[in-house]
Amino acid sequence: MYSLPLLLRASHAALLLVFCLQLGTNTAQEDPAARQSIIMDFQVPQVTRSTEEVTGKLVVQTELRECMAIKTYLVSSKPIDGPFNYRYTSCLCDDYPRTFYWDFQVNSTVRMAAVVDVVPQLGICPNDEAVIPIKANRFTLLKTLFVI
């Protein structure tokens, strides 16, 4: 009879040990689905004058290990001419974030979006080893530029 409580006590300890080990391995493993395919930071002043030139800056980076070919451009609620309409195509890799600039002038308040499209284009990334995310291939950030 004395060996039965000892056996039960050992099984609880073993269960606790297995539970702790399971928790330790779950938190230590990296979840590849948690990686973001595109991270954008779009900077443009909030307020400007109609005679001033404005610089828009877009920083794009990724947490994916694979490179991807991207096309970046700006879209606005009102027509804007000049460098605002420039489109950039580049290779984006996890160890090298990309920065894009646009200089433009607006005459009235405008709502604009920085757009990043992941494109299946060869010759942009080295060795043509670019990937395309499964869930989404267009990413946008909206800003409003007020003219006083």
Q: How many CB atoms lie within 10 A of CB 90?
A: 17
Whole-number Å distance between alpha carbons of 121 and 39: 20
Q: How many CB atoms lie within 10 A of CB 89?
A: 14
- Does the pLDDT value for residue 117 go beyond 90? yes
Tokens of 12: 């609880």
- Contact between 44 and 56 (Cβ < 8 Å): yes
Q: 32-147 in CATH: which number?
A: 2.60.40.10
The pLDDT of residue 62: 94
- Contact between 54 and 105 (Cβ < 8 Å): yes
pLDDT digits (tens, 9 = 90+) for 92-109: 999 899 999 999 999 999
Domains of the chain, residue spans: 1-30, 32-147
- Does the pLDDT value for residue 2 go beyond 80? no
Q: Compute the mean pLDDT over every residue in the chain, rounded to the nearest whole number.
A: 83
Per-residue three-class SS string for 95-128: CECEEEEEEECCCCCEEEEEEEEECCCCCCCHHH
pTM given for the model: 0.74
